[in-house]
């Protein structure tokens, strides 16, 4: 499955809940979504709070999916091509060294 298919599915879900409507109680602004992204990432971290492995892989997968959904949505409404951004970042990182910094 590609990113565009996932992005389209995410938008269908958000629209079905009415969250893109002007009077939504859950406005889908980049700021609100960025906050939600960080909160969900914290929920991923909870799975590793007391050990090196997640105790419940299904729950971990669910939290990782939440993170990805918010990331896809932020990129989409901000007109960022996430696939291009990832490839550009990887290209940049190949040229970096971390041990000399």
Domain count of the fold of the chain: 1
Distance CA 82, CA 51 (A): 32
| Residue 101: predicted pLDDT | 59
Answer whether residue 16 is part of any domain: yes
Residue 61 three-state SS: helix
- The domain of 34 spans 3-94
**Would you call 66 exposed, middle or buried from its count of C-beta atoms within 10 A (0-12, 13-18, 19+)?**
middle
- The verdict on pTM exceeding 0.95 is no
Answer whether residue 101 is part of any domain: no
* pLDDT tens profile 29-71: 999 999 999 999 999 999 999 999 999 999 999 999 999 999 9
Query: Residue 100: pLDDT above 90?
Result: no
* pLDDT tens profile 88-99: 999 999 999 988
Answer whether residue 99 is part of any domain: no
The domain that contains 38 carries what CATH number?
1.10.287.1080
């Amino acid at each position: 499955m590609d990113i565009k298919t996932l992005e389209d599915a995410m938008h269908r879900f958000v629209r079905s809940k009415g969250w893109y409507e002007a009077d939504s109680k859950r406005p889908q602004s980049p700021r609100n979504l960025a906050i939600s992204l960080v909160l969900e990432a914290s929920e991923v971290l909870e799975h590793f709070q007391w050990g090196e492995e997640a105790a419940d892989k299904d729950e971990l997968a669910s939290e990782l999916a939440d993170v990805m959904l918010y990331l896809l949505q932020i990129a989409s409404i901000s007109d960022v091509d996430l696939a291009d951004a990832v490839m550009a970042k990887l290209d940049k990182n190949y040229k970096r060294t971390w041990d000399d910094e």
